[in-house]
Structure 1
Amino acid sequence: MYRRLVILTSTFALALAACGEAEEDAELDIATTDGEAEAMTKDLEPGDFALLNPGPRIVGPQGPEVKTALSNEAGILADITSYVTCPATMTACDPANAPDGTIYTYVHTVYPGEDMDPASGAGDGPDDIDVEMATAFKMTAPAHGFTGAAGFSKDEAIAAAGEAVQVVITCDADGALIWTVNAGDGGDQWEDGEPLTFYWQSTLPPAGPARHYEIRADGVSGIGDGPYPGADSTARNACLAVNAQDAPQ
């Protein structure tokens, strides 16, 4: 039976992932037994963005942030602001001079229903498509170099969808990450203009903006750019390490 890595957190039971644990997660071995896979899954705890201690940001051609939109042929479903940081122990974040073993934190703040207007900045532009219920933020390509450390802003999730909110982080069969936002029975939803920040960590720096990020809202999807690592055959992806137990022998 195919079994995905599932990370479940609620506002009442949120496991915390310290930055220092990310380097250990990067050394995950491929699971060869059900027991090993179960133990590996337990090691991949979700983190609270508020408790991260981010270091300096990478400054790329677009500056320290990439601001763009998640859209489809009908219009813009959300805008998104992304950036990548190095560990706090570093004074500058330059991948060309970063030491071996550097862990890069990819951060994405998504604003459903907002139009990315350069004059107004993320989240302050006019509505393009009214979003009543955003349900997921995801990648459309493998999370190259994924260490197993990922999370979101607990405070923003509660502000957006109330105390009953649950965020489920899964890996798909190709090694991409999916954050599913379940608002519960409270009636509140993640909707127009409510920012929610997601993050994940990789052993690889960004190769440049790539059209590999997606929002799912009101039954449709919008896709857009964000910083993304290039493929590297020597870098592990914790999602694939967990999923490997289900590969044909």
Structure 2
Amino acid sequence: MNRLFLALPLAAALSACGSADEPPTDLEAARSDGEAQALARNIEAGDFLDLALGPKIAGPQGEEVESALSNAEGNFADMRSFVACPAAMAVCDPQTAPEGTIYTYVHVVFPGEDNEAGTGSGEANDSSDVERATSFRMTQPATGFTGAAGYSKDEALAAIGMKADVVITCDEGALVWTVSAGDGGDQWEQAEPLTFWWQSTVPPAGPAPAYAILANYTPATGSGPCPAAAPGAVNACLAPSLDGSED
């Protein structure tokens, strides 16, 4: 299958981390031919604050979907998600949206819990105390992905500090945000929000079990807005590589 990007393995990302006393971590330093190939195809991360978002899609659960990322041991993150249309649109309704509309999928992820009694998954999340979260990802292909994705750089700075490093790659058509904070010191941890976003030409069909976090070295999964099935839609992760080769 043709792919434009490759996912940087978690072990490789962790091996690139330095100590808390070192300069900002640099996930751009490849240590093998495979890593070099993956890093050369990273997605350039856009800042969430630079987006001009319009109205949100209102689904059965309202404009925002709240969920928990969990496994058999308990909940490891709260997630609040929404899908927005461009700023120029007055209403975000896929049934009436013009052809070519770009939908921005936004996921605000709180490792452990969001510490708000009326949101997230509430007291059920108290079973997890996340000291280190290292990635957020999709577990299904990003149907209609345009190639534009990013995160909130201000939130990463607030949570982790100057050494924060987030690299966006693809894994079999799914997006992966690898978060590195180096060894020791501040990490992306309990109740610290990080906002991740990506854009698609395909509107959501509704919440689906398509998202995951790696927290305390443990994977946990949950639901969020996911594009509808669209066999003809392009996914930038699965486009031919820039040099015309196939992976």
Tell me the TM-score range normalised by the shorter chain.
Answer: 0.7 to 0.9
- For the residue of structure 2 that corresponds to 1:127, the secondary structure is helix
TM-score, structure 1 as length reference: 0.79
Seen in structure 2, the aligned counterparts of structure 1 residues 93 and 3 have a Cα distance that, compared at 3 Å, is: closer
The count of aligned residue pairs is 219
One-letter amino acid matched to 2:88 = T
1:149 aligned residue: 148
The CA RMSD over aligned residues, in Å, is 3.0
1:213 aligns with 2:214: no
Partner residue in 2 for 1:169: 168
Question: Within 5 A, what are the aligned runs for 1:80-119?
Answer: 80-114=79-113, 119=117
- What per-residue deviation string (whole Å, max 9, x for no partner) do you get for residues 44-81 of structure 1? 52100011111000000000000010000010000100
1:246 Cα deviation after fit: 4.8
User: Segments of 4+ in structure 1 off by > 4 A?
Assistant: 5-8, 10-13, 123-126, 242-246
1:235 aligns with 2:233: yes
Query: How many percent identity over aligned positions?
Result: 56
1:158 aligns with 2:157: yes
2: CA distance, partners of 1:158 / 1:6: 23
Question: Which residue does the alignment assign to 1:20?
Answer: none
Aligned counterpart, 1:131: 130
Amino acid at match of 1:225: S
Letter in 2 for 1:234: G
3-state SS, counterpart of residue 238 of structure 2: helix
Rate the CA distance shift 1:192–1:211 in 2: closer, same or farther, 3 A. Answer: same
C-alpha distance in 2 between matches for 1:65 and 1:136:
22
For residue 108 of structure 1, what is the amino acid of its counterpart?
H
Distance 1:163 1:124, change over 3 A: farther
Whole-angstrom distance in 1 between the partners of 2:47 and 2:121: 22
2:16: which partner in 1? none
Unaligned runs of 5+ in 2: 14-22, 27-36
Contact 1:162–1:186 (Cα < 8 Å) also in 2: no
Contact residue 4 and residue 239 of structure 2 kept, 8 A: no
